[in-house]
Amino acid sequence: MRSKPKPLLRDHSVVKSKPRKRRDPTQPQLPFDEMPDRIEPALALLKGTAPTGTDFLYELKFDGYRLAVHVEPKGVRILTRGGHDWTHRFPKIASAANDLGVGTAILDGEAVVLDEEGRPDFGALQRSLGGRGGERASSEAVFYAFDLLYFDGHLLTETELSVRRHLLADLVGEGSDGAIRFSEELGGSGTDLLNAACELGLEGIIAKDRDSKYRSGRGGDWLKIKCVQSESFVIVGYEKSPVARGGIGSLLLAARQGDGWVSVGSVGTGFKEKDAVELRATLDKLKVTKPVVSLKGKNLVFSAPTMIAEINFRGWTNDRSLRHASYKGLRERQDNADIYKIG
């Protein structure tokens, strides 16, 4: 079966990792580290421009679901960014992890579904899982591994990223096109790579400090540079319209602020009539009389902050509303860790 093309890699070199020797079983055993039940993921900090110099390596920014694949003595577990067990949702990835031939490992990466041009398609990933609230197992998703946090009984979070990626490339195999693939390093300047990604309709690029240890949260060692900004917000209602598709003129959006919510404006483009009909039917079931954020206006219907939407936008206005927002799709309710936080 012919593998999918890699759009950004067509015109840019791939930096190959140097092969590393596998551990010699005749050598004395190093002390084993207890395998963590879960490691809070490292997150990339949003930047407007790519860094310069040789301290950073570059990868594609994938448009999918962040996952941690745990290869354990009793089997494989696949956890979402928020810690939910989704092993049953990605059986092909779980099977491929089981076939890696390692006793214990934790791989950090992203599950995506690729379009005909080899580009990650978030909507296609959602459909493969049965949509919001669906429990379908995806037979199309592939997992791009970009970090190795635990390997062969040893915790690697205090090890430099460059070393972790050498081990990961040796484990997964560079150039692999199965259900688990290695996220390859891209050669070239950050500016050129970003321009190429944007021209090809990709999300953007990720820059990572080669010498950094693995730090949970947004520490600044990982940077994301996007072609178009995209974040997750909760839908807190909609504006009724007698002429708009599905009766929805726009969706009302909110972000987290402390223990509560704050309005970030609305989105009225990006969804088709079928999407609008389904959104309205679900939001009407979640209807509340009092909005969870301060909103006033005619024809507004308020809902509980349950549904999570992925939104493309071009920036922020002075009053902290989204500028040129466009609806991209729904995220699973378990993905509440992805909801954008203000302050």
* pLDDT of 46 above 90: no
Cα distance between residue 180 and residue 193, in whole Å: 24
Q: What pLDDT is stored for residue 284 in this prediction?
A: 93
pLDDT, one tens digit per residue, over 191-249 is 999 999 988 888 899 999 999 999 999 888 999 998 888 889 999 999 988 877 778 99
User: Which amino acid, 301?
Assistant: V
Cα distance between residue 53 and residue 176, in whole Å: 29
State how far Cα 48 lies from the chain centre.
Answer: 19
For the structural domain made of 229-338, what CATH number should be given? 2.40.50.140
pLDDT, one tens digit per residue, over 280-296 is 999 999 999 888 998 87
Residue 199 C-beta-side C-alpha neighbours within 13 Å: 11
Does this model's pTM top 0.85? My answer is no
Cβ atoms of 67 and 90 closer than 8 Å: yes
Domain 37-226 identical in fold to domain 229-338: no
pLDDT band at 325 (very low <50, low <70, confident <90, very high): very high
Q: Which residue has the higher pLDDT, 16 or 299?
A: 299
* pLDDT of 189 above 70: yes
Q: In the chain, where are the structural domains located?
A: 37-226, 229-338
Cβ count near 95 (within 10 Å): 13
Residue with tokens 């006793």: 103
Work out the burial of residue 101: count CB atoms within 10 Å of its CB; fewer than 13 is exposed, 13-18 middle, 19 or more buried: exposed
pLDDT, one tens digit per residue, over 119-169 is 898 888 988 988 666 678 999 999 999 999 999 999 999 999 999 999 999
Exactly one of 16, 47, 61, 285 is catalytic; name it. 61
- Look up 6 and say whether it is catalytic: no
* CATH superfamily, domain at 37-226: DNA ligase/mRNA capping enzyme (3.30.470.30)
Tally helices (H) and strands (E) across the chain. 5, 21
